[in-house]
Chains A and B, each alone.
Chain A
Amino acid sequence: MFRGGRWAVAVLTLLAAASACAPGEIDDPTAQRAQTIRLRVLAAASLTDAMEDLADGFEAKAKLAGTPVEVELNVAGSATLREQILSGAPGDVFVSANAAIMDEVALADEVNGEVQPLAANSMMLVTPADNSRAVDGLEDLADPDLLVGLCTPGVPCGDFAAQVLEQAGVDAEIDTFEDDVRSLMTRVIADELDAAIVYESDVAAAGPAVAAIAIPSELNVEAESQIAVLKGSENPTTAHTFVDFAASAEGRTVLESHGFQSVTP
């Protein structure tokens, strides 16, 4: 082969060697860990921080009870997670950002037991912290000069945003559709976009990094996130305990601290 090819092979070999020496294989040092139950929670991106807190709380409780659990969070857009579940990805608990996606998973007979409502959320308009383009309402999103992002249709936050825009009668000029709400939010925080429609809870999570504009309640939607144990769970008992914990008063407090509204089951 040609010289450039040899060069590329050399680089590849080097990279492979480097990654082989990389650390990362240092976990599970003791046999004590072997008793730990691993609980895989697939959660919608909008619930990232809340689920992390819930996982911590659950782990602490389980440790006290002498049955240590390690919660492994897999966070992505609800639609991506649905595809993963339907194609047999391992998981114990699924948290979707809307009822429609959970319905599809339940319809495919992938749910073990009851689906429970977890929290309610609504949509908000966000801009970078300085809101230099002076966005003050949904109708601004029709401005072609404004860089506007939404979640992809099919992902709950995308469908809810589309519903809000339709109810407001705004024909928005969208510059990008992101696969989940966290990547959309990141683009706003980084000032790559002028405006986006996200969940109220995302605004709470971002704090002063963004400026938020409320969407009038008659134009807004109620996004209900739901939680269920998956049929493929290897530890259904622990999974059910986790779901009950998330839906308990304690769980509700955690969710509220992250900007979610509580729902009565």
Chain B
Amino acid sequence: MSVRRSGPRRPNTAVPAALLVPALVGLAFFAIPIVGLLSKTPWGRLPGLVTSPTVVDALRLSMISSLAATLASVVMGVPLAWMLARTTFPGRSVVRALVTLPLVLPPVVGGAALLFAFGRRGLLGGPVESSTGFLLPFSIWGVVVANTFVAMPFLVVTVEGALTNIGTRHEAAAATLGATPLTVFRRVTLPMIAPSIGAGLVLTWARALGEFGATVTFAGNAPGTTRTLPLAVFVTLGQDRDTAIAISMILVLVSMVVLVALRDRWWRGR
């Protein structure tokens, strides 16, 4: 009775300091390293550095291998995601864990595992090499395999999430109207999840472009064959900082473009 109610109370929209301060510290934590990189960037020499043979070679390799890995990821990853979202089979959760494992596994462990499987003395690599002479490590194919291993889970996770979100209502309707499962997949499911596939593709590509640990462990590190942009940063950091910074700038720029392009798809839900 002592509380006076005088109409609806205006919501208090002020950000509490207890949230604002740690949030700003967190923001600074991400911003300062980028500012550090920018402050060391030799802007005047940048055009020359970015077009130097070291960088051009690495850029070409990175583009080819990351795009090939993205293609391999979509060819295998979309069906995998579909299987995980639409079918039930014993051990499905184990399969899902296996497919998403590279998301949390240190890439260098992935590279070592690839080596033990596809290396010259590996489980499959040995027999393949002795019968055909074909060897994945120390070739661009090795880079593509390493990139795919590390990046494909991003596509699977994104597409599986989308499949779960759209539910099975439309697919069931199409099936009742007589469409075969493959037709349903092509004409109903795919168009509905196309935006998510797009988002997954970009993420997968960005991850493949940045891949370092698995590549250097499995595919080796030679200019022109396996030395992609991240490997080139690692090598030049010890010898020629300006080139390392120039390559880092390329990678930061590409990543920013990807994130800005994806902000609606990825961060705000479907």
Bound CA span A4–B199, Å: 14
Give 18 A-B pairs besides A8-B104, A80-B238, A177-B223 with Cβ atoms closer than 8 angstroms: A2-B157, A3-B161, A4-B160, A7-B100, A7-B157, A11-B97, A11-B100, A15-B104, A83-B238, A154-B238, A154-B239, A155-B238, A176-B220, A176-B221, A177-B222, A177-B227, A178-B220, A192-B121
Residue in A closest to B227 when the chains form the complex, CB atoms: A177
**Is A12 at the interface (CB under 8 A from chain B)?**
yes
Interface residues of A in 149-177 (CB under 8 A from B): 149, 152-155, 174-177
* Chain B residues in 8 Å Cβ range of A178: 220-221
Interface residues of A in 76-135 (CB under 8 A from B): 79-80, 82-83
Q: Are B157 and A79 in contact (CB under 8 A)?
A: no
Q: A7-B100, A192-B120, A192-B137 are in contact. Are A2 and B235 (CB under 8 A)?
A: no
Show 5 A/B contacts (Cβ-Cβ < 8 Å), sorted by A: A2-B158, A8-B104, A147-B138, A177-B221, A192-B121
Interface residues of A in 190-230 (CB under 8 A from B): 190-192
How many A residues touch the partner, as a band?
A: 20 to 34
**Is B255 at the interface (CB under 8 A from chain A)?**
no
Q: A8-B157, A152-B221, A175-B138 are in contact. Are A190 and B121 (CB under 8 A)?
A: yes
Q: Are B164 and A149 in contact (CB under 8 A)?
A: no
Residue in B closest to A193 when the chains form the complex, CB atoms: B138
**Is A1 at the interface (CB under 8 A from chain B)?**
yes
How many B residues touch the partner, as a band?
A: 20 to 34
Rounded to whole Å, the gap between the CB of A133 and the closest CB of chain B is 12
A-B contacts at CB below 8 angstroms, number: 83
Bound CA span A133–B110, Å: 29
Q: Are B161 and A175 in contact (CB under 8 A)?
A: no
Bound CA span A11–B96, Å: 11
Residue in A closest to B239 when the chains form the complex, CB atoms: A154
Residue in B closest to A187 when the chains form the complex, CB atoms: B220
**Is A5 at the interface (CB under 8 A from chain B)?**
yes
Interface residues of A in 8-39 (CB under 8 A from B): 8, 11-12, 15
Bound CA span A152–B221, Å: 9
